[in-house]
A and B are shown apart, each in its own frame.
Chain A
């Protein structure tokens, strides 16, 4: 195949855009896609400080690389999740990425924050599924560190496949409140919330992987051991089968949902959060999900002395 732009040998074929690219032209194409999303969806400007959530996987490191290359002001935020070797490798690769490029990275080791908060131990000590606990903890720290350090914007590496899989799940269960909130830009509904943006929401997983490969990014190849059999992977597989038969299905699904579907659910959005009595972060109950998790972990570690006869 030949590059659509310069007719050199193509290394990539993007079926849903009906184009092929050589390595050089692909970089230009990719950054234009990202720039267009940031600009068109009013995600952030070059004058804002962006906190980039980085896991060590291809998407978040590709996002950080692209934003830095495009001249945005960024700081990385990495949570050392405490999921065995997987987390150790993730942290090592993230720190190496930042060091090599001279970028500012904040690393939060969960086990240092609260002993027992590492995801494997949380899942073992409470009745929560590891992925649910992981989601709660991640959301809390992204919000809290953005608030504490004065970031207006938090960017994540969620890609088109993530968004399409999430949309499929929300549609299959008709979760109207989630559908109302599924968006590439979440405007803050609480003073301690930052704007949450997904510059890759129209860029497929294949495209972010290719970008990471071309840029020589050393990312974590292995999957989180907790994600085996995760529902999201089943949705992704179904969507990839549709995509193979009908290129463009995923993009249309997400894009048209945002254009015509989502407005229909606008009235279904839950009321804005209140403030957690314990940590001061946004909460939909008196105490936020994170503080309830920490309380449970702490109680299990330090059980109250048994009240025996005096």
Chain B
């Protein structure tokens, strides 16, 4: 699966079918700090991502206020 991390605009390729929670763990991301977007839908941490999926993982944290 091809992952684009935002706002860093970093691309990461991960192999095989995997649960979202496991993908986040591998990337060192905590649940609740990112949205995982496939197409125009969100997927929850219990959903699976397929090997040929393209997803965007977008940080929800903003700093300073």
Contact = CB atoms under 8 A, between A and B. Distances in A.
B10 to A, nearest CB: 13
B63 A213 contact: no
Interface in A222-242: 222-224, 226-228, 230, 232-233, 236, 240-241
Contacts of B60: 58, 205-206, 208-210
A199 to B, nearest CB: 15
Contacts of A11: 41-44
Contacts of A58: 60, 62
A233 B43 contact: no
A224 B63 contact: yes
Interface residues of B, number: 22
A158 B65 CA distance: 8
Contact of B30 (A162, A204, A241): A241
A95 interface: no
Interface string A98-136: 000000000000000000000000000000000100100
B46 A244 contact: no
A82 interface: no
A59 interface: yes
Contacts of A131: 64
B45 to A, nearest CB: 7
Interface in B1-38: 6-7, 30-33, 35, 37
B44 to A, nearest CB: 4
A12 interface: yes
A110 B3 CA distance: 39
B42 A240 contact: no
B44 A213 contact: no
Nearest to A219: B62
Contact of A227 (B37, B45, B64): B64
B65 A232 contact: yes
A65 interface: no
Given A1-B44, A13-B44, A206 B7 contact: no
A162 B58 contact: no
A32 interface: no
17 contacts: A1-B46, A13-B44, A13-B46, A15-B32, A57-B62, A158-B65, A205-B61, A206-B32, A206-B35, A208-B60, A222-B7, A227-B64, A233-B63, A240-B32, A241-B30, A244-B30, A244-B31
Given A13-B45, A226-B64, A236-B63, 19 more contacts: A11-B41, A11-B43, A12-B42, A15-B31, A57-B62, A58-B62, A205-B61, A208-B60, A210-B35, A213-B35, A213-B37, A213-B42, A221-B7, A223-B63, A224-B63, A227-B62, A227-B63, A232-B64, A232-B65
